[in-house]
Amino acid sequence: MNFTGANILSVDQFDIDSIQTIFATADRMQPYARRQKRTKVLDGAILGNLFFESSTRTRVSFGTAFNLLGGEVRETTGMESSALAKGESLYDTARVLSSYSDVIAMRHPKSGSVAEFAEGSRVPVINGGDGANEHPTQALLDLYTIKQELAYHGHTVDGMHICMMGDLKFGRTVHSLSRLLAMYKNIRFTLISPRELAMPDSVLEVLAQAGHQVVITDQVSGISDADIVYQTRIQQERFTTPQEADLYRGKFRLNSEIYTKHYKPNTVIMHPLPRDSRAEANELDNDLNQNPNLAIFRQADNGVLIRMALFALTLGVADQVDKYECDV
Ligand code: CP
């Protein structure tokens, strides 16, 4: 894949080689993210950071990643503060904002909206989440984390057993991660959700075509040898009413007692965050916070590395980062 100038809209545009390129570039970003080195490789460049739906990690880590490469960030947050609220089209917004920016990161509540926006943009557009559809940068940081966590235990992505649990219908992170993992070999997927919130057929077809073993269930069972448990939040914002989401909240919790009972001692615990910590939901309990297998904050940290790598690659400066080093 030629990254320079490319939009990053879906994990479907990657193959194993391009994923390796992103991860190798992310590895090289570590000293800059840790403030051991400083670079001005993107000095003078501007990121348009457009978040038309709420976000903490994705929005701030995109901005942090761009700043760490020496660039500046212009933010638009919330639909109501943009001219989209006055009926302006995504195309017109993209044409205008792309002349103010060198690259744009965007989140929007509607599936397909970021791709629609990209048609009007004259600079690369990176999808920060479009409705229940995709969240490709989250999937990359999840896979990067999975590789690190499994390597620590002497395992690989090929042949692993992953359990995904919760709202698999509306959770865009599990859609993108499943599609990425489909590119690897002999993975066992145990997909645990209420029947009404099962993984979409479009994702299941990709897994079946790639020959992976998939078990779909609404029971917490068959997971005693899972290498990874990937817990998700009930995506209340995708339901017609909060009351409808209430029907499913708290159905599949993970806490220390459940973890000890159902999983092997070194199963890695993941969650894209935010976790819903309200008592009626609490899908990932704080009593796991000190468990060394809890990888949720390592996931969030890796988000900066992955997003730095994507900026460096799409703006064609990945090989020049060290040339523009300056004093720390
Ligand atoms: N994982 C994730 O997308 O988090 P935010 O909604 O906080 O960006």
pLDDT one-digit tens code per residue, 247-292? 999 999 999 999 999 999 999 999 999 999 999 999 999 999 999 9
Ligand 1 centroid to Cα of residue 135, in Å, is: 9
Same domain for 104 and 26: yes
∠139-72-68 over CA atoms, to 5°? 60
- Strands (E) across 147-267 are located at 161-165, 188-192, 213-217, 228-231
Ligand 1 centroid to Cα of residue 54, in Å, is: 8
Strands 38-39 and 325-326: antiparallel
Is the model's pLDDT at 315 over the cut of 90?
A: yes
Q: How confident is the model at residue 244 (pLDDT cuts 50, 70, 90)?
A: very high
> What pLDDT does 221 receive?
87
Same domain for 173 and 130: no
**Residue having the nearest C-alpha atom to atom 7 of ligand 1:** 56
First to last CA, the chain: 33
Same domain for 125 and 95: yes
Percentage with pLDDT > 90 across the chain? 98
Amino acid present at 225: D
Percentage with pLDDT > 70 across the chain? 100
Asked if 49 and 73 touch (Cβ cutoff 8 Å), the reply is yes
ipTM, two decimals, is: 0.99
Same domain for 306 and 288: no
Same domain for 229 and 245: yes
Q: What burial letters (b/e) apply to 235-259, b meaning 16+ CB within 10 Å?
A: bbebbeeeeebeebbebbbbeeeeb
In a domain, 1, yes or no: no
**Residue having the nearest C-alpha atom to atom 4 of ligand 1:** 57
**Residue 106, domain extent:** 11-134+301-326
DSSP state of 75: E
Q: In what order do the strands lie in the sheet with 161-165?
A: 213-217, 188-192, 161-165, 228-231, 268-270
Q: How confident is the model over 180-201, as pLDDT tens digits?
A: 999 999 999 999 999 999 999 9
**Residue having the nearest C-alpha atom to atom 5 of ligand 1:** 55
DSSP state of 83: G
Give me the CATH number covering residue 100.
3.40.50.1370
Domain count, the chain: 2
- Strands (E) across the chain are located at 38-39, 46-51, 72-77, 103-108, 125-130, 161-165, 188-192, 213-217, 228-231, 268-270, 325-326
Q: Which atom of ligand 1 is nearest to the CA of 272?
A: 1
In a domain, 261, yes or no: yes
Q: How confident is the model over 115-133, as pLDDT tens digits?
A: 999 999 999 999 999 999 9
Same domain for 215 and 111: no
Can you tell me the distance from the alpha carbon of 179 to that of 177, in angstroms, rounded to the nearest whole number? 5
Asked if 293 and 231 touch (Cβ cutoff 8 Å), the reply is no
Q: How confident is the model at residue 205 (pLDDT cuts 50, 70, 90)?
A: very high
Is the model's pLDDT at 15 over the cut of 90?
A: yes
Can you tell me the distance from the alpha carbon of 146 to that of 151, in angstroms, rounded to the nearest whole number? 8
Q: Which atom of ligand 1 is nearest to the CA of 60?
A: 8
What's the gap between Cα 319 and its chain centre?
25
Q: How confident is the model over 122-168, as pLDDT tens digits?
A: 999 999 999 999 999 999 999 999 999 999 999 999 999 999 999 99
In a domain, 4, yes or no: no
In a domain, 156, yes or no: yes
Mean pLDDT of 78-99: 96
Same domain for 260 and 156: yes
Same domain for 318 and 294: no
Mean pLDDT of 37-56: 98
Asked if 165 and 192 touch (Cβ cutoff 8 Å), the reply is yes
| Pocket of ligand 1 from Cβ distances under 6 Å | 55-59, 129, 138, 272-274
> What pLDDT does 285 receive?
97
- Strands (E) across 99-183 are located at 103-108, 125-130, 161-165
Ligand 1 centroid to Cα of residue 38, in Å, is: 26
Among candidates 101, 102, 100, 79, which has minimal Cα distance to 90?
79
**Residue having the nearest C-alpha atom to atom 6 of ligand 1:** 55
> What pLDDT does 50 receive?
98
101: left (phi over 0), alpha (psi -120 to 50) or beta: beta
Same domain for 234 and 251: yes
Asked if 291 and 259 touch (Cβ cutoff 8 Å), the reply is yes
Q: How confident is the model over 210-220, as pLDDT tens digits?
A: 999 999 999 99
Same domain for 150 and 284: yes
Q: How confident is the model at residue 238 (pLDDT cuts 50, 70, 90)?
A: very high
> What pLDDT does 236 receive?
93
Ligand 1 centroid to Cα of residue 275, in Å, is: 10
Same domain for 263 and 150: yes
> What pLDDT does 114 receive?
98
Q: Which atom of ligand 1 is nearest to the CA of 59?
A: 8
Same domain for 292 and 151: yes
DSSP state of 84: G
